[in-house]
Amino acid sequence: MSKWKLSFVSAVFMFSSSLWADTHSVDILDYDHVYATAHSGSLNEDAGGNNNASAFGLGVSYTMTDDWLLLGDYTARFIHPDESTTRIDTLMAGAGYRYSIKKDLDIVASYLLGVTKGKVELNGTNETLESDTEFVQGVKAELNYGFAKRWIANGSVQLNRSDLFDEEIYHLGLRYLVTNKFAIGGSYQHRDGEGSTGVSERTNELGVEFLLEY
């Protein structure tokens, strides 16, 4: 793992551990919600270096108890350099455990299981060069912090593993509660993956997020 990734993880958990002692109920943070995301980014370059990657997501979170969550997530990714387009569809579901560090500051740890499908097509003819579907599993650690009555900042690290590809996803986001039930925000994501052939690729993505509580 590179130095900046270690610094990212260390900063998140050093911040949370410094406030570990004070546990209260949550006000701003709500885990009964659906969300939609859209990201555009650069392949193997810094954000803005090119526009060869995009990702779209839909998800749902449901509180089974005060601490346990039921989670679902679908992501469609497109990697489209000049000659071909790689599409990766991933559908995952699982459970998460929420630990309230203090008022409006939570850590959520989750485990997800699902399927992922990858397909490579030529851009000019739409000819399928290869296609494969595999099971995928993932673990995720997320820190959520609500402040100033209507703002929520979050950071997360997710590790996905399958026979199709292995992937690490680092996420930083900030959203604003437009109403008591609807929020809009922006985020940065760094994906670092390695396919079954051993080829490594990374993407840096900027995007928008929409969240609706129910």
Q: What is the CB-side half-sphere exposure of residue 148 using CA atoms within 13 A?
A: 7
DSSP string of 7-70, one letter each residue: HHHHHHHHHHHTTTT-----SS---SEEEEEEEEEEESS-TTS---EEEEEEEEEEESSSSEEE
Distance in angstroms between the alpha carbons of the first and the last residue of the chain: 38
pLDDT digits (tens, 9 = 90+) for 156-213: 999 999 999 999 999 999 999 999 999 999 999 999 988 766 677 889 999 999 999 9
Report pTM: 0.82
Q: Residue ranges per domain, the chain?
A: 3-213
What superfamily in CATH does domain 3-213 come from?
OPCA outer membrane adhesin/invasin (2.40.128.100)
